[in-house]
Structure 1
């Protein structure tokens, strides 16, 4: 039980920030390009309680952490917040601007991963204290959850951000055909998850990303 409480305490803040700021970034960029839908709904905010989805932000990550703590293993930790409402038709250039709106979430996760890497380096470089190990563990958790969300969302499967980026970049005819995959995107993702294919796709990319951060920051 102590191990479970410790695990949740370490992961709670990184997970909450990674998921909610990802969604807020979509709304902010959408407003910049002409769609005020998220702004009018009060979703362009750093207040995490505006973005929390009881299942995706709390239940699913909590269950994964609990199972990992009790039984061990290295499952892919992921989750989601309440999707920020975006009306792509209200963007000034819907097809072109869709790229920037979609890319905003993964980009924020990339920036947060860098921030957590800086914190890890600071903890590693300061004199050892009672806070050193917890700080390093939280920073490591922040790197991991942001790497997962960044790389997962960049998979070219609509309605993931990578799928929307692909639709934005493809010629109109191909983009229209590709966008028709969207209703099947979540089932496809679940199949990839439960067959283990998702982990096989993500872990090598995560390992490469962590090596890159370790090389840049010297830890």
Structure 2
């Protein structure tokens, strides 16, 4: 790749792989919680699996994160949304919120697990008198763990933005009734491309990037805390 060193390319490939895996876990978490709360739609569709073929979206899982990584933006990706029928939930109004929060919660758990392993590996390395050599085995293990933590923190905080179709918007679901609720379901089916354009392309025009400021203040600061 023109202008990229071998280290840059390896970093990019590693980031994409971790984003795709973390996004799949995020979607499976939605389906699993929905299943536990009474809706088997995702299970019947074969989506309660980590098989990439069942989840990858050509644009959202590969092209979009690749473009963002090359552009130097916070890497975001999405897998095919896991289907579920809110009418099958035992308590639809409250259970929809739990289903929505399952995705960000899975990212938080992944970030905490990654940080714990990072600290364990780092402490063992220091105890053995080792040192980090760029390109060495220890370097790549710690690099992968740090990226895994960061990717999941970004996915968590991004999805908590209260705009459809992100998970944070589901927090308003208990407030919607009748036709307003139906319109919401209709809007969320095609609003993700619009949202991505607004959050990533508009800042290029107005030269103000609130998304990066938000992610730096949330995911960035929490990353420093977890890996300190």
Q: Above 0.5 in TM-score?
A: yes
Equivalent of 1:143, from 143, 149, 152?
149
Matched residue SS, 1:82: coil
Matched residue SS, 2:42: helix
Quick one: structure 1 residues 200 and 183, their matched pair in 2 at CA, closer, same or farther if it must change by over 3 Å? farther
Determine the structure 1 residue equivalent to 2:206: none
Aligned length: 208
Determine the structure 2 residue equivalent to 1:82: 80
Determine the structure 2 residue equivalent to 1:157: 163
Equivalent of 1:114, from 100, 112, 115?
112
* Unaligned 5+ runs, structure 1: none
Quick one: structure 1 residues 136 and 49, their matched pair in 2 at CA, closer, same or farther if it must change by over 3 Å? same
TM-score (normalizing by structure 1): 0.84
Quote the Cα distance in structure 2 between the aligned partners of 1:178 and 1:123. 49
* Unaligned 5+ runs, structure 2: 204-208
User: Could you list the runs of 4 or more consecutive aligned residues of structure 1 that deviate by over 6 angstroms after TM superposition?
Assistant: none
Quote the Cα distance in structure 2 between the aligned partners of 1:100 and 1:87. 14
Quick one: structure 1 residues 184 and 47, their matched pair in 2 at CA, closer, same or farther if it must change by over 3 Å? closer
- The answer to whether the aligner puts 1:190 opposite 2:197 as a matched pair is yes
The structure that has the greater radius of gyration is: 2
CA RMSD of aligned residues (A): 2.5
Determine the structure 2 residue equivalent to 1:205: 218
**1:89-104 correspondence to structure 2 within 5 Å:** 89-104=87-102
Query: Displacement of 1:8 after TM fit?
Result: 3.2
TM-score (normalizing by structure 2): 0.81
Quote the Cα distance in structure 2 between the aligned partners of 1:183 and 1:82. 11
Bigger Cα displacement from structure 2, 193-202 vs 112-121? 193-202
Query: Displacement of 1:185 after TM fit?
Result: 4.2
Matched residue SS, 2:49: coil
Bigger Cα displacement from structure 2, 194-203 vs 36-45? 194-203
